[in-house]
Chains A and B, each alone.
Chain A
Amino acid sequence: MTPILTARGLTVQYPGSATPALDAVDIDVLPGESVAIMGASGSGKTTLLHTLAGILRPTAGTVTLAAASGPVAVHALDDAGRARLRREELGFVFQQGLLLDELTALENVAVARMLAGVPRHQAEGEAAQWLAHLGLQGMEHRRLGQLSGGQAQRVAIARAQVTGARLIFADEPTGALDSTTGAEVLDLLLAAVAQGRTLVVVTHDPGVAARADRVVTLRDGRVVADERRAARAGGSGGGEAVHRVATVRGGQVEHTTVAAPYDEARR
């Protein structure tokens, strides 16, 4: 299978520090897999994620993304080019949320589509579908600041998918959540993978790593282990339109089968 993301000799040297934060890292991410990046604090996980996602420019090395339109040399793009790539091709779910407190849940998601030129009412329609899909019906018009941490992460997951991004980057998406809420958020992220998206997730949580297809371990900016879980190796590479999603109502977890609004044909 052709990798969706290829990195070679990835090195990041922060100004003023003696040792590189990333030291010649090679990594291939296959489409439809979930990759957990683990390692001690300061081992370079966030730096790797940011470099792969075109947030940070590597000091040396290459990052190639197999975009819908063909391969893109991410490391060679200028600021505007990388911003465009992040906006159009990638989705993000970070611990800090990356969402705007003063916008409603609906607006936070709709903005991603509006930036692609979709008219506001249509963008809000799509956003509402995704929010409902992720169990946030009735909360569309709450400002983000009025949502719980778990609900806010659901909004982030909706935003990451509404553009049709095939590759989602998550940095400690469950880091600020209690274990039950964290597990629910992880369910939603893995549901996106089951639907054909690719997930790269930085985590300290062994529970998250245990459910990923593959675990990459970093130490001092180098990859020291890269293990694929045989049980999941086949993956679910297809683009199923229907999948299972866990939602919570009244403290009770219920599993519902829903149609995904994401439509391959739209791209």
Chain B
Amino acid sequence: MKLLLSWLREYVDVDLPVPELARRLIDATAEVESWETIGADWDPERIRVAQVVAIEPHPNADRLRLATVETGAGRQQVVCGAPNVAVGQKVAFATEGALLVDGHTGEKAKLKLRPIRGVESAGMVLSEKELGLSDSHEGILVLPDDAVIGRPLVEQLGDVLFDISTWANRADLLGVLGLAREVSALVSRPLREPATSYSEGGPAIDSLASIVIQDPDLCPRFTASVIQGVTIGPSPAWMQERLLRHGMRPINNVVDITNYVMIETGQPLHAFDYDLVRGKTLIARRATPGEKLVTLDGVEREFDGQMVLVCDGEGAVSVAGVMGGGNSEVSERTTNVLLEVATWVPGNIRRTSMYLKLRSEASLRFEKGLGPEMVEFAHRRALHLFEQLTGGTISKGMIDVYPGKQPPRTIILPAARIEQVLGFAIATDDVRRIFTDLGFLCHHLPPDRYSVQPPYWRPDVLIADDLIEDLARIHGYDKLPATKLRGSLPEPEPRPVEDLRERVRDLAVGLGFQEIITYSLTEKQKLERVVAPEDVRRRAPLSVVNPVAARHTYLRTSLRAGLLETYAANRRQHDGPLRLFEVGQEFLPVEADLPHERKVFCGLVGGTRETRWAKAGEDRIDFFDAKGAAEAVLGALGIPGAFKAAVEYGLLEGHTARISAGKEAVGLVAQVHPETASAFDIDEPVFMVELWLEDLVRVLPERPAYLAPSRFPEMRHDLALLIDTATPASRLIDIVRSHRSGAVRVTADIFDEYRGKGVPEGKKSLAVAVRYQAEDRTLTDEDVARIETGLLKRLEKELGAVRR
């Protein structure tokens, strides 16, 4: 909504500085986005109102004349080329040095006076173009007769145009008058409503037209009048000027009046050419599905059975509350006008305009909910202007079909509720003043209640708390104290998965991984690269109807695609190692319900290790880096993970392990299949860790198993063992770990694997550090040798392992 300060001032005296006015409006009423000062460049000293007192021909040029102007500080003679200059006109007069728009170049420049065809000129009589008001260069700007000679032009014609975003519940603020009512309350100055008087010189309205509301559930009120004998022509300059400033194109006096009154009051109106209305009757009814009408914008529209049409005796003439039809449009040939001022049900108008993709100034207002009582004021205001500006005669009486009439709404506001909601009390006098200034009827019901009746333009006010908001915002939120919440705290809800997610995030960061956050919406083909065809659930991701871009159409069912994409994008920028992770949700479809938002950790590593001074070296990050990260996370969580070779889609066979803990499968560690990586533009080995947080949480110990550090030293003895290449090293470790001899605990770590020269075909050599720990004594070499012998026997029997 635009707001012209001069228009606002017609209804309320406001002399606050513009930024202050804007701030008050923002604090209490609506968002002032910006404002533009008209005449900001007009030097008050050098550009003033003057009057033309004499005109003589130029001695040396036929097309130029010499005008004498009264400037208020003496008479001056100027050379003037404008055809429309005439004695008696009030004009804008500039003297040397005034900053003006150059009529030829369009640039701003200071006025330099020089003789024109041999005659000195004391100044310049200005056109709209030179003042930057328009491109019109045709003639000089003629000011109203009441302009004061010698007054700076900026005071006469300067203005401020605000750009205001109003809130969705305040249709009344989509009218200058509505904003004026707010300003009036904000500055505590009285409101002057515009004139609505007119004479009813025409025949009784009932003899001219009739109105039928067939669907009163969608049309609470419909009023109409007829204006006969109008002379179609341009509307006056002041009206056109204001319409233009509010972004509306002037058309003719009749249409302009309806638009003007809409901007002024917020209530849309529609003028039909009376003689084109068949049957002289208007009917408000639901459309027959498939019914059509060419609207004023020349487009043929088709309607469904929910949309409301205004029809005449034969068919549709207007889309109710949205746009009129071309078949009954006011034109130059119009002599009689049928004026419609009606109220429509907001949701229905919004639906219609959305479905038709036709949002008009009228529909934007109706959809926010205009009170049906606004109709009458706007109607009378329009008739006042019709009488003044079209020469028409107004019918006697007004058709007013009003099935939605409601008794005035009275709301009881207990004074204690104000303090209960806001945290501070507002004095009775202030309460009464604020409501009265806003146009509410307010009665104090002693000792501690108010009876409040909202004005007809405020259908948004329904309950006591709505009233409290009006009090709070006008009283000023700066008076709201800041207090501390009192009362008891609620029981905490346990959030095991979320807590685990945050721990895993921290652990990944501790392991040198960078967190990324990718979009939840992706492309189906990207998901298909990482999700197995037989995984039907993940292969059937949910899609959205209206994605922001085609590449964000499907809700991801795997985090892998996002990580691979991000890896590829960053590889273009960086040498050396990349370690990325995301903790996010897979959206797994569920029949007839919201999807399962499964929380998953996914990490991706690859590249060469950095050498000294951040140079990428030769040594590559490999599977065991990824696995090491998984083990570190599990270890820190106190979860003993088991890794088992697995075959998984999109991952390289022989380089993939499934992680389990207890009975739960909790994740994967793998080299991404080179072809999958390549599909994401990655041409180097990359390794992935995936941890399924919802499964992991089921095996998460409440606290780590604690073991007091032993007072006795641990004995270590290394072994080199040969086993079949096909035997997983984990079996060897498991056997060692399960080996107990008395109270001696045996653990083992593999520190090397070797195949090749010196090792028989089909075997591998594992270097194992075996550690022995007794809780009650220091072990002797003999103890260790004895246990080792037993262990070696068992390894040989169970695994065929022999010492190398």
Q: Is A bound to B?
A: no
